[in-house]
Amino acid sequence: MNDFWEALLRVLTLADYNTRVVILGTSALGTACGVIGSFMLLRKRSLMADSVSHATLPGICLAFIVMVHFGGSGKWLPGLLLGGLISGLIGMGLVLLLRSYTRVKEDAALGIVLSCFFGLGVALLGLIQKMSRGSAAGLESFIYGKTASMLSSDAMLIGAVAAVCLLVCGTLFKEFTLLCFDQDYATSQGFPAALLDVTLMSLVVLTTVIGLQAVGLILVIALLIIPPAAARFWTHNLRNLTLISAAVGAFGSAFGAAVSAVVPRLPAGAIIVVAYSSLFLLSMFFGKTNGIFIRLLRQRRLNNKVGSQNLLRALHEIVERSGREQVTFDDLMAARSWSTAYLRRLIQRELRLGRLRTDDESYSLTTGGHEEARKIVRNHRLWELYLINYADIAPSHVDRDADRVEHILNDQVVGELESLLATEYPASNCPRCPHSQVAS
């Protein structure tokens, strides 16, 4: 146990040189992938990275064969990455060509390129293993990753490429934003949409290739998809989305690498992806914009609001029709098709809020409740009159249409309704119910 805490302390303080290299390298990669992945998510091309990553394998194998043929060992990393980069660019180009100039859909094009290139890469790996010169040992690391054995030169290369990608994204942020949301509009405004698209896809290929060293071509897709997907639960603003996505990418990579350093038997690449998945689940449940819990809370608040408004409106209309201040439970049950238990819950909530008072199963509105009910009824009838006068809705059917939207009317919409109907229905006047006017 003491060894565990000692190892944890050394990781947290970055005391070991190799730990610093791995954590800084993977964090830089996660940051770049998070930013670029945000644009890919909005472009609905997240799976493009999966196709590109698998397309790099034959390029890596061919680069190995070429270097061995010219007398090298075949293990020169820049040469292998260059081969993967060229192969990835070719794969990306084929996907774009199939999508643009054939009737093949993009998802089918991605599947075709992914399977064909990966199959070619596996075949070339088998050929390399039978070569008399050169050793294929270590090439499998591009498939599964070798985060724990990352060298300082690898980390520096990752940091340099990540810096270039972040610089390009920062410089072309406005253009990439326009490309993601409306490519046709960008073209009409004179922006080189095709060139911007190629630039963005080239950044994807670049980050994918350098990501092979960290997590391998199988798991690199997680670095580009999961951070922006998690960030979408926290914000709708693109600038904030990219920042949150970059933070998720950096933290998930650093945390996964740190856990792997504390528990060496756990593979770092897989733990990084598990850390990303944990952050995604956390965002999915607790994200303040689209998280499951916040959406359930909003739905509950809306249901409570709708129920309260319906109850207050029913009380006001019963008093208006009958002239009695006291309303019985049976009167309320007859006003709407709600269950007995649900109506009792509504009444109890309004009693707690002080908008309703009771006297032996009879209910009446308090002063505050009367003002709130009058406001609700007025907004409902203004909307009904608008639908009758301006939308040609029959008075006998307008109540159903008005009831669907009256609960979400804000002050601006109510103000516009009042301005349209100001002459006949000033702010101090609550219109008569259109249904009673028709009936009379």
**Over 70: is that where the pLDDT of 398 sits?**
no
Cα→Cα distances 254→16, 160, 429, 440, Å: 14, 18, 64, 74
Give the confidence band of 438 by pLDDT, cuts at 50, 70, 90: very low
168 vs 80, more confident: 168
**Over 90: is that where the pLDDT of 284 sits?**
yes
**Over 90: is that where the pLDDT of 266 sits?**
no
Give the confidence band of 168 by pLDDT, cuts at 50, 70, 90: very high
Q: In what order do the strands lie in the sheet with 356-358?
A: 327-328, 362-365, 356-358
CB 123 within 8 A of CB 57: no
**4-18, 101-115, 120-134, range with greatest mean pLDDT:** 101-115
pLDDT tens for residues 192-244? 888 888 888 888 888 888 887 777 777 788 888 899 999 999 998 889 999 99
Q: Nearest to residue 230, comparing CAs of 249, 216, 215?
A: 249
- What residue spans of 263-291 are helical by DSSP H? 268-286
| CATH of segment(s) 15-221 | 1.10.3470.10
Q: Which of 34-43, 129-138, 172-181, 272-281 has the lowest mean pLDDT?
A: 129-138
Q: Name the residue type at position 398.
A: V
Buried b (16+ CB within 10 A) or exposed e, 26-63: bbbbbbbbbbbbbbbbbbebbbbbbbbbbbbbbbbbbb
Report pLDDT for 440: 40
Between CA 32 and CA 227 the distance in angstroms is 11
Between CA 260 and CA 247 the distance in angstroms is 20
46 vs 225, more confident: 225
Q: Name the residue type at position 136.
A: A
Helix (H) or strand (E) holding 356: strand 356-358
Between CA 314 and CA 329 the distance in angstroms is 11
**120-124, 129-133, 416-420, range with greatest mean pLDDT:** 120-124
Grouping H, G, I as helix, E, B as strand and the rest as coil, residue 45 is coil
Report pLDDT for 211: 81
Averaged pLDDT score across all residues of the chain: 80
Q: Which of 18-27, 137-146, 173-182, 247-256 has the lowest mean pLDDT?
A: 137-146
What percent of the chain clears pLDDT 90, i.e. is strictly above it? 13
Report pLDDT for 281: 94
**Over 60: is that where the pLDDT of 403 sits?**
no
Phi, psi of 47 (to 5 degrees): -75, -5
CB 56 within 8 A of CB 217: yes
- Mean pLDDT over 372-400 rounds to 69
Between CA 370 and CA 331 the distance in angstroms is 18
CATH class of 299-439: mainly alpha
Report pLDDT for 109: 85
**Over 60: is that where the pLDDT of 306 sits?**
yes
- Mean pLDDT over 112-124 rounds to 86
**Over 90: is that where the pLDDT of 48 sits?**
no
Give the confidence band of 420 by pLDDT, cuts at 50, 70, 90: low
17 vs 311, more confident: 311
- Mean pLDDT over 401-407 rounds to 53
Task: Show the tokens assigned to 262.
Answer: 């504390």
Phi, psi of 430 (to 5 degrees): -90, 120
Report pLDDT for 408: 54
**Over 70: is that where the pLDDT of 133 sits?**
no
CB 211 within 8 A of CB 29: yes
- Mean pLDDT over 119-139 rounds to 75
Domain limits, the chain? 15-221, 299-439
Report pLDDT for 323: 77
pLDDT tens for residues 347-377? 888 888 888 888 777 888 888 888 888 887 7
**Over 70: is that where the pLDDT of 415 sits?**
no
CB 307 within 8 A of CB 353: no
Report pLDDT for 205: 84
What percent of the chain clears pLDDT 70, i.e. is strictly above it? 80
Give the confidence band of 396 by pLDDT, cuts at 50, 70, 90: low
